[in-house]
Chains A and B, each alone.
Chain A
Amino acid sequence: MSKTLRLSFSLKNTYRVNSIIYALKQIPLIKKLIPGKAYQSRGLKVFANVLFWIWEVLSTFLWKLVYFLLMFFLPMSFLGISEGTEPAAFLHLLLILSAIGAFLNTYMFDPTKDKYYAMILLGMNAKEYTLVNYFYEIIRLLLGFTAFGLLFGLLAGLKVWECLLIPLFVAGVKFIYAAVELVRYEKNRKVVSGISQNVARLILAGVLLLFAYGLPALGIMIPRTISIGIMGAVIFAGILSWWKIFAFTQYHAMYKEILFGAMVLMDPSAQREIQQKQERKNISADTGISSNKKGFEYLNELFIKRHRKILWTSAIRIAVIAALVFAGLLVVTVAMPEEKAELNELVMTFLPYFVFIMYVLNRGTQFTRALFVNCDHSLLTYSFYKQPKMILKLFRIRLWELIKVNLLPAGVVGGGLALLLFASGGTANPLNYVIIIVSVMCMSIFFSVHYLMLYYLLQPYNAGTELKSGTYGIIMWVTYIACFVMMKLRLPTFVFGLCTIAFCILYSVVACALVYKVAPKTFRIRS
């Protein structure tokens, strides 16, 4: 057993340390500091190892803290739990949430890479490996739940001995669920995996969550003494279940079934294959599609027509939904005149919010991905396609195309907002209507330029159509955060609108200049 523990730790440690080094090597600037033979470097391995252990210790406690805060502390303050019933409410939540956790977070039946490497590839003893690692996870669970179960339990008014039952109860629920599944496997060879079972489990979890939070909201909860009784019974049954977990002999056969299917899906080349098949499905097989154009215009027109489903159909769908939302809001202004003033004020200060909305609505990611996977991935291997004048010609055609796709929903949103402003009482300065429409359209153009520019400057995909640019990933995150932060901004529509229009024009000019200068050198398949 101790050898298995040592080996499994060493294995888990090796691949996690290598993953940390790999992740560090993807970060611009930092990757230059990492030596070529990083995976052989003892110093770097020790550093990554220290990071791994810090995370192992932190995660033992951190997730439990987050769990108690998000699932107990915050909801209890919103549910309006009456004074004196906090201990019962706390135990009510604990019972139901632990039942959900037992089948959603089993440790034992999760198809993880380390299990695949150890039991399938390296042929380690499946039973020993499972028991050792399961026991390790349970110890981490006991430590985390003892610390924060005690803290939050005492805050909720439980007694110390009741708090100390919490970790034992949570472990007991997990043991019972694991034992039931093992018995089920022995009887009918069915393992806990597969999408249909996941869906069923998610539905069950949803129903239980309703019971967990819905009942206390109505003032109904499991009485404290009954909860304590259930916990005691579960701990007792958990001890009995541990015997089943220990005595079970078919771990190897069971994991073969669990891991093989899951590993096919985890294998990067298999994932790529699935993704490529999916991308190919997006190509319309309509034989009536044709074009009378020539050269790159011909190529582009056929591309757009054959990808109508993922480009225009989605944009039209978004535009229709946006139109319905605005129609609904217009009905509200007519039916509830008392809400007009509030709506009017909202429209006049809410424009920054629409930066995030336009970010979400823009089709840049889907457009550039389809461009690469179904078109540039193949054509970039031909020398004519990499000539600067060809790259720039196609960039111009594509930019116009993407702008058109994104402008449709943007036009509806901008027009809808202006209409809403008018219907909710209007504005003293009629220029505000124009500013709203133009600025929303400018935001849409900005995102079109932004995504296509990044695609041309960084070309983030490799020959296997995998996203491989760390810089691209970081810029995507920065874009998201910047748009998110905009939601917190409250500025008069006129001021923000003018600033947006100026910024978008300036950004578009600079971005296009950058593409013209740099893209002929960077628009290549990443090696």
Chain B
Amino acid sequence: MKFTIEHVSKSFEKKQVLKDIDFTFENGKIYGLLGRNGAGKTTLFNCINGDIKTDGGKFSLEVDGTVRKTEPQDIGYVLSTPTVPEFLTGREFLKFFLDIHEDRIENKKTIDEYFEYVSIAPEDRDKLLKDYSHGMKNKMQMLVNIIAEPRVLLLDEPLTSLDVVVAEEMKQVLRSLKKDCITIFSTHIMDLALDLCDEIVLLNHGVLEVVDKSDLDSREFKEKIITALREDGNE
């Protein structure tokens, strides 16, 4: 499976944020998307998720040799600030989500099995989501995105504000998922990107470019990334 971005551009008034981007992501990999503040990472994610219209270009998926336009259900999007319907309990949210996706989900599990998967304790499962902690809301958001089995999973700095235990649990979940989907992970934390991601992609000057790691140790790789991000026009 491949996810391809072809000639995608996006401007806000006169500022061109995405410049004719061409890039192909492959199945089984976690891509770390790095870029300076304001580089356009969230804009790119919003365009892929259909929240913002692009000025031009297209997103397509190649599945078993057949290329087609991406559909909304192909994309899962986990935001840095978890968004869950706060008037529902954790169990109700999962039930609603499973009802909506009942035709799509293969190997459907019980609600409690899903809770176990992201380590949400039994006593928290019937609480209103408004009373969940930030980390628990984040787990719920991640969980429903995983249940929907998207082909492309976008993660916009989802681990930044989590405590170390929850962050480690989430990393394990992401690693366990990677063989079935393309994961694109945006972060500001270099060590997290290097630890979790198979490829590092920079969003620089509105275009995507892979940072080649061959023959570099971790320190040299980091320096190469920093140097690329510091290049002219980025200061």
Contact = CB atoms under 8 A, between A and B. Distances in A.
Contact of B86 (A37, A299, A378, A527): A378
A525 B86 contact: no
Given A298-B95, A298-B99, A527-B46, A384 B87 contact: no
Interface string B135-147: 0000000001100
Nearest to B104: A384
B187 interface: no
27 contacts: A280-B86, A280-B130, A283-B87, A287-B126, A294-B99, A295-B100, A296-B100, A298-B92, A298-B95, A299-B88, A374-B86, A375-B87, A378-B83, A378-B84, A378-B85, A378-B86, A379-B83, A382-B144, A383-B49, A383-B76, A383-B148, A383-B150, A384-B100, A386-B72, A387-B73, A524-B51, A525-B51
A377 B72 contact: no
A359 interface: no
A307 B85 contact: no
B99 A303 contact: no
Contacts of A294: 99
Interface in A252-308: 280, 283, 285, 287, 294-296, 298-299, 302-303, 306-307
A381 interface: yes
A378 B86 CA distance: 8
A229 interface: no
Given A298-B95, A384-B101, A306 B50 contact: no
A403 to B, nearest CB: 21
Given A303-B87, A378-B84, A383 B130 contact: no
B79, B84, B99 pick with most chain A CB within 10 angstroms: B99
Which 10 pairs between the two chains have the least Cβ-Cβ distance?
A36-B13, A383-B72, A378-B83, A295-B99, A306-B87, A283-B87, A36-B14, A381-B83, A294-B99, A280-B130
Contacts of B101: 384
B83 A285 contact: no
Nearest to A373: B86
Given A283-B128, A527-B52, A379 B99 contact: no
B18 interface: no
Given A382-B145, A384-B101, 5 more contacts: A36-B13, A294-B99, A378-B86, A382-B148, A383-B49
Sorting the interface of chain B by its residue count into under 10, 10 to 19, 20 to 34 or 35 or more gives 20 to 34
Interface in B51-94: 51-52, 72-77, 79, 83-88, 92
Contacts of B14: 36-37
Nearest to A527: B52
A383 B77 contact: yes
B96 interface: yes
A283 B73 CA distance: 30
B87 A374 contact: yes
Nearest to B78: A381
A387 B103 CA distance: 15
A383 B128 contact: no
Contacts of B13: 36-37
A283 B75 contact: no
Interface string A382-405: 111011001000000000000000
Given A36-B14, A307-B87, A374-B87, A386 B92 contact: no
A119 B88 CA distance: 46
Contacts of A298: 92, 95-96, 99
A527 B42 CA distance: 11
Given A381-B77, A383-B50, A386-B72, A283 B130 contact: yes
Given A295-B99, A383-B49, A525-B51, A302 B88 contact: yes
Contacts of B88: 299, 302
Contacts of B126: 287
Nearest to B77: A381
B87 A302 contact: yes
Contacts of B75: 383
Contacts of B86: 280, 283, 374, 378
Given A295-B100, A298-B96, A377 B83 contact: yes
B73 A302 contact: no
Contacts of A283: 86-87, 128, 130
A386 B128 CA distance: 24
Nearest to A524: B51
A390 B101 CA distance: 12
Contact of A374 (B76, B85, B96): B85
A384 B83 contact: no
A525 B51 CA distance: 7
Contacts of B95: 298
Nearest to A282: B87
Interface string B172-188: 00000000000000000
B14, B79, B99, B100 pick with most chain A CB within 10 angstroms: B100
A312 B70 CA distance: 42
Contacts of A379: 83, 85
A386 B46 CA distance: 13
A466 to B, nearest CB: 15
A378 B46 CA distance: 15
Contacts of B74: 383
Contacts of B52: 527
A303 B49 CA distance: 26
Contacts of A386: 50, 72
B15, B84, B87, B96 pick with most chain A CB within 10 angstroms: B87
A379 B82 CA distance: 11
Contacts of A524: 51
Given A280-B86, A283-B86, A374-B85, A384 B130 contact: no
Contacts of A381: 49, 51, 77, 79, 83
A287 B131 CA distance: 13
A384 B92 contact: no
Nearest to B74: A383
Nearest to B76: A383
A375 B72 contact: no
Contacts of B77: 381-383
Interface string A344-376: 000000000000000000000000000000110
B148 A384 contact: yes
